[in-house]
Structure 1
């Protein structure tokens, strides 16, 4: 089995397990993704949020419309662009975010069961390093260094 297959399959299984255990939160996986990503990126514009979620801006706009109707998100004026509005989480979303994080913590514990106590920290460190290697910042630096040699 390859690294890519293991990473992909593990992520899929964690999403499935989250869906099973988080049904009581009253959110779809897509809505949960919006809330979780927005929580990590408060003040972000919808187009940038769509990029992070890897969905089309119009798809996100429709999703946010529904979430706004449900009381999960509010749109506020962008102080730097009067035409734009920034999505923000409501208190209802913040409350469910904490409950969702608790579900996720349980799933992480289940996934790491039987591994040494420091395995999570090491895994996070290695994956963060891999992400940095593949990110645009690192790629740009590597390309510039290769061009100079």
Structure 2
């Protein structure tokens, strides 16, 4: 494979993600102007995976632990997030959306789906499915290579 082609793939992905984030921010301004993109990410990920831990969220977002703790505290103060002790380990905090958070998550999911559909409207669904499968395969391979790279 042409080495610049590989880099071009990541450039195209980066640009598409940049456009998606910009549209999401603009769309969210009409719903909740005070929400940050990081808060949106936390709400969406928690909505998709209720019961995940703060550690899971740090690993998913690649955010600093202290920054994530502040974001979670802010979301909890706003009444959108609940942090409860794990049944198996009382030191571990599990995340779930409050009733208000679930309503906000439904709005976020709807906006997110609409932005994604709009950005990919000229790409037929079968090609979108193919692209998703290729990206998942590439991601799985990259994670495996990363694990091998990090081992002594």
TM over 0.5: yes
What is the distance in 2 between the residues matched to 1:24 and 1:111? 19
* 1:35 corresponds to: 43
2:129 aligned to 103, 115, 121, which one? 121
The answer as to whether partners of 2:54 and 2:95 remain within 8 angstroms in 1 is yes
Shift of 1:85: 2.1
Deviations 1:86-118 (A, max 9, x none): 221111111111111111222122212223342
In structure 1, the gaps of 5 or more residues are 144-149
Trace 1:1-149 onto structure 2 (pairs within 5 A): 2-26=8-32, 27-136=35-144
- CA distance 1:116–1:74, change in 2 (3 Å): closer
What is the distance in 2 between the residues matched to 1:74 and 1:46? 11
In structure 2, the gaps of 5 or more residues are none
Deviations 1:57-97 (A, max 9, x none): 11111111111110011111111112222221111111111
The answer as to whether partners of 1:42 and 1:88 remain within 8 angstroms in 2 is yes
* 1:146 corresponds to: none
Q: Normalising by the residue count of structure 2, what TM-score does the alignment of the two structures yield?
A: 0.83
Q: Normalising by the residue count of structure 1, what TM-score does the alignment of the two structures yield?
A: 0.85
Higher relative contact order (CA 8 A, sep 6+): 2
The answer as to whether partners of 1:76 and 1:87 remain within 8 angstroms in 2 is yes
Q: Provide the aligned C-alpha RMSD in A.
A: 1.8
